[in-house]
A and B are shown apart, each in its own frame.
Chain A
Amino acid sequence: MSLPILIFTLAKIVVILLVLLTVVAYAVWFERKLVARIQSRWGPTRVGPHGLLQPLADAIKLLTKEDITPSGVFGLVYLLAPALSLITALLAFSVIPFGPVTEVGGVDLFQIADLDIGLLFILSISSMGVYGIVLAGWSSNSKYSLLGGLRSSAQMISYELAAGLSLVGVLLLSGSLNLREIVNAQTGVWGIIPRWNVFPQFIGFFCFLTAAIAETNRLPFDLPEAETELVAGYHTEYSSMKFAMFFMAEYTNMLTVSCLATLLFFGGWHGPTFGPAVLQAILPLFWFSLKVLCFLFLYVWIRGTLPRFRYDQLMAFGWKVLVPVALGNLVLTSFIVALWSA
């Protein structure tokens, strides 16, 4: 790789990261606003019009707060845990394509790295995120943190299994682990419905969605930080920017999962394109963002509507419902694909 291309790649990564972090900050604002409306409140209104400057104010506040390191923590691990969470969350995003190949000077603008094993990369990196949480829980020297970390790791690995199984159906249909090729396999229409994987794979889709919500520790599966019993779970002892890093990691994971659901099941950036060339270039990005936004809305909607599971129910649901259903879906799909291709 030549030097100019390397510099261009670096610039692209910085720009994409800035956009990503801004989107993450506004996802927090979006959630606070939407949950407030669901609960007949206004949400943030003071900082800027409609509270739009709230993420900025929060960032400044968190950065200047006292950075407390409680006594009895395991120093280095305590420090590394939030960094590990954030790094894995952001790194998983690097294989997400958000538009068709648009090369400028030999560098694709809409994806950081086009790996042949993109899907496997995301799964492996996001399962590394468990380390951040379990290390945070263990190093904090607090009982709440330890319980939260343990619960979280058990929950995440259980639901990761269901998520992994539910994605095999998509692989059977598209025959590739490359995210771009999976999206391209969904080009076109069957009659009037688009060729999105969600139609033949709706069981897989619901398994994936449920498992993904559980894996990102969101309501109704947010047992690791169930406020009523565990204070704040694994990040009870974290303050200032370290707390914010866990928070950012959680929202980045939400965003990655939303992007993944869009790419794997909802045709990625495919949608009607029309009009002049400029509009045709922008529309795929618009469709992709719109679909991702729908998933973010769904996340918040679920949070605002459903009560929390009990921990034993959660584990039983993951192992006794999701895993068998995903396995059945896999057998069924492979049977149909085998008949169809024979």
Chain B
Amino acid sequence: MPNSYFQNYIPVLVMLGVVAFLAGAMLVLSYLLGQRRPSREKLAPYECGITPTGDARQRFSVKFYLVAMVFILFDVEVIFLYPWAVIFRELKLFGFVEMLLFILLVAAGFAYLWKKGILDWTKSDSGEFG
């Protein structure tokens, strides 16, 4: 029944409301209760006591983007595995062979990434992939 299905989620919504209220209350309370004596040095971003140089939002290693992209690819593949695993008992050996082919394809992609050095964090950024 779709009705009772959605009913399961009502407590989650209530929980979200309570938790959001709690987080908001904490922010407001600490804003109200804390003393406030700002000074220029106190408001400066922390840089080990030295006057900050330049903007903090600088360019950073492209490796982080690569990891994010690879993650999305593989995470989608993991999501395919979840429903398969849940009904696996009914699929039996047929399901196993089907998924083995899929996993082999994933593994081939993984091996390619590995060989290209995407997974080597220390490799210099000036390689083929940026």
Contact = CB atoms under 8 A, between A and B. Distances in A.
A62 interface: yes
Interface stretch (A158-166, A195-203, A293-301): A158-166
A237 B88 contact: no
Interface string B70-114: 010011001001100111110011011001100100110010001
Nearest to A314: B121
Interface string A222-264: 0000000001000011001110110000000000000000000
A90 B19 contact: yes
Interface stretch (A25-33, A40-48, A209-217, A332-340): A332-340
A319 B63 CA distance: 14
B1 interface: no
Contacts of A138: 57
B44 A70 contact: yes
Interface string B1-36: 000000111111011101110111011011101111
A123 to B, nearest CB: 9
B47 interface: yes
Interface in A79-117: 79, 82-83, 86-87, 90-91, 94-95, 112-116
A91 B12 contact: yes
A86 B23 CA distance: 7
Contacts of A341: 89, 92
Interface of B: 7-12, 14-16, 18-20, 22-24, 26-27, 29-31, 33-38, 42-48, 55-58, 60, 63-64, 67-68, 71, 74-75, 78, 81-82, 85-89, 92-93, 95-96, 99-100, 103, 106-107, 110, 114, 119-122
- Closest 10 pairs between A and B when the two form their complex, measured CB to CB: A241-B30, A171-B85, A312-B121, A83-B23, A338-B96, A113-B11, A142-B45, A67-B34, A157-B71, A71-B43
